[in-house]
Amino acid sequence: MSEPKAGLLRELHHGKLLVLPNAWDEQSAELVVHKGFPVVATSSAAVAAALGHEDGERAPWREMFAAVARIARVVPVPVTVDAEAGYGLEPDQLVAELLAAGAVGCNLEDTGHQAGGLVPAAAQADRLAGVRAAADAAGVPLVINARIDTFLPPSGFSGPERADEAIRRGRLYRAAGADCVYPIGVSSAADLGKVVAGVGGPVNGNTGPELDLGTLASLGVARVSFGPRFYRAGLAAMRGSLDELRIAAGMEEPGAGR
């Protein structure tokens, strides 16, 4: 079943905007499908938090892939995984773990979690090429979404150079076999439009004050994802309800009288 689902996921990058509300467990994934979305994407931050860990490859990779496998077992649609920077796994093992979990796509970011900062572009392109070769050898057209972190503060880039470097990396990553690139953290329509035009291939965007779904579509963005936004919204709703319940129960403020 992996090959047809991977093919479908790839095709969905070349039509109308592919909207991916990120899930973190079986119930949230089933809700995404129930509401008619054609793909389930995971959020590493949300999955890690639900498992009791911080984001940034601090959760054991086996626990992360086990969560993905539980999701893939309960939904009939393609599943794409936020695999962070790949957890230090060699390309062959990374692809094998993704496919064993039932995933047909993955995000791979160019932040170096051990050394800090960004991985050199050429080294990241080589890694992506290795992942593509491993997927080809497995006979599954795994959809690789190469995340580009130049717009994040730890990258060390600022101003116009963030978009320029994102374009340079995007072209390298596409040439290495990435199906889509993801310049995370772009807040300006002008910057995102520049990257979309400069890369010349599918780009993943995020919504924001300047970037609603209509604007993203008009810029030529191929897919939009939401990271841990829905997971955090659920916690915020629970927090508000607990505050109301505490007031109704006549409870003291936390820490009062200590």
For residue 105, report the phi and psi dihedrals to the nearest 5 degrees.
-155, 160
Rounded distance between C-alpha atoms, residue 76 and residue 5, angstroms = 9
DSSP three-state, residue 130 = helix
Q: Alpha helices of 145-228 — where are they, by DSSP H?
A: 160-176, 189-199, 213-219
The predicted pLDDT at position 256 comes to 60
Pair 196, 215: CB distance under 8 Å: no
Q: Judging by beta carbons within 10 Å of its beta carbon (0-12, 13-18, 19+), is residue 33 exposed, middle or buried?
A: middle
Closest CA to 82 of 51, 116, 55, 100: 55
pLDDT tens digits for 85-144?
Answer: 999 999 999 999 999 999 999 999 999 988 788 999 999 999 999 999 999 999 999 999
The stretches in the chain having pLDDT less than 70 are 255-258
